[in-house]
Amino acid sequence: MKIPFLTKKDEQSNIYYAEGTIPDHVAIIMDGNGRWAEKRGMPRFIGHKTGLATVVTVVKAAVKCKVKVLTLYTFSKENWKRPKPEVEFILKLPKEFLHVYLPDIQANNVRIEVIGNMEGLPAATQEALQYAIDSTKNNDGLQLNLALNYGSKQEMLQAMKRMFTDLVDEKVFLDQVDEEQFSKYLNTANIPNPDLLIRTGGEKRLSNFLLWQMAYTEFCFTDVLWPDFSEHEFKLAIEEYQSRKRRYGGL
């Protein structure tokens, strides 16, 4: 199906991209893997595994649309409450993902970063992620942030503690503390706030994801389960974003 808003052609890459405003930063809550599998009478982990292919599809769609930053909620602090075998399975997925798709990621000039507490992840997962971060660090296309072992409230508390330490050490002074200053202590320092949040799987909540950063983000909720999410759905979400009027509390 032709996507009507992709009207401009990039002569170098030969791809079409949107004429209107493209969100610089898209954040995604990838929900619905478990239900996708259960609906098919399969164990939940098959849904997570199938979700890996969707990740690479969406990364490529973001590259095509000239999005600059894509942040994917991959494993939350609260996800530790799931049964141990599921947690262990999900935490092995980054390594599997990188083993299969890192060449694709490189070919698309994507730079991988992690937000969250990497040190809490299994050693093999940390190693795979560190390798991906190091080997993509000179890529200057899309920045792909994997939010792993991430929780927004925990991130803010950590930031506050680091800022208090700097206040006590007189590296920062109380009258300098404003939103911009506090943002520098977050995992997302130097990353623009998300312009668009997409949540798949039908739920309409933020689930402790980028609470500070999404104060003025546009939200797009879809019932499509993550393994079924496609380039087409991604472009529809961008199209919906383009129809919004962002006023940031003004008129």
Annotation: binding site for substrate: 32-36, 44, 48, 76-78, 80, 82, 199, 205-207
User: What are the residues binding ligand FPP (CB under 6 A)?
Assistant: 30-35, 48, 51-52, 55, 72, 74, 79, 90, 93-94, 97, 146, 201, 226
- Binding positions are 31-36, 44, 48, 76-78, 80, 82, 199, 205-207, 218
Residue nearer to ligand FPP on the CB measure, 32 or 151: 32
**What is the rounded distance in angstroms from the CA atom of residue 154 to the CA atom of residue 162?**
12
- Token representation of residue 81: 């409450």
**Contact by Cβ (8 Å): 72, 29:** no
Q: SS3 helix, strand, coil % of the chain, rounded to 5?
A: 45, 15, 40
**Contact by Cβ (8 Å): 36, 50:** yes
Residue nearer to ligand FPP on the CB measure, 29 or 220: 29
Tell me phi and psi for residue 200, to 5 degrees. -90, 170
Residue nearer to ligand FPP on the CB measure, 5 or 74: 74
Q: How far is the CB of 48 from ligand FPP (least distance, A)?
A: 5
Q: How far is the CB of 5 from ligand FPP (least distance, A)?
A: 27
31 carries an active-site annotation: yes
Classify residue 9 as left (phi > 0), alpha (psi -120 to 50) or beta.
beta
Q: How far is the CB of 206 from ligand FPP (least distance, A)?
A: 14
Q: Which of 10, 14, 24, 79 is catalytic?
A: 79
**Radius of gyration (C-alpha) of the chain in whole angstroms:** 19
Residue nearer to ligand FPP on the CB measure, 3 or 133: 133
Q: Which of 31, 108, 187, 195 is catalytic?
A: 31
By beta carbon distance, the residue nearest ligand FPP is 34
Q: Which amino acid is at 5?
A: F
Alpha helices in 3-83 (DSSP H): 33-39, 44-64
Active site residues: 31, 79
